[in-house]
Amino acid sequence: MARKTPLKKQAETSATTIGGKLGLVANAVLKPAGASLDELIKLTGWQPHTIRAALTRLRPRGIDARPTTVDGRKAFRAVGVEG
């Protein structure tokens, strides 16, 4: 069965429906520049291990955030987001 909604659009829709701090994390990693671990810690007030666990909780919701280097800084960014 073919997917009716493109993956990027589906991830954006998923991020808008995720509430609370997990939604903040989702929106941050969906930006073209992504978000560094320090930025996510400041955004949520969570410990680094909690941030990493939250990133794994995004995967079943269609947002696959992976560590990457963006403009010379290490950041988590959703796969498929161009920037």
Residues 15-61: tens digit of each pLDDT = 557 899 999 999 999 999 999 999 999 999 999 999 999 999 999 99
Residue 3 has pLDDT above 90, yes or no: no
Helices (H) and strands (E) counted in the chain, each on its own, are 4, 2
CB neighbour class for 75 (10 Å; exposed up to 12, middle 13-18, buried from 19): buried
Rounded to whole angstroms, the Cα distance separating 55 from 76 reads 9
pTM greater than the 0.85 cutoff: no
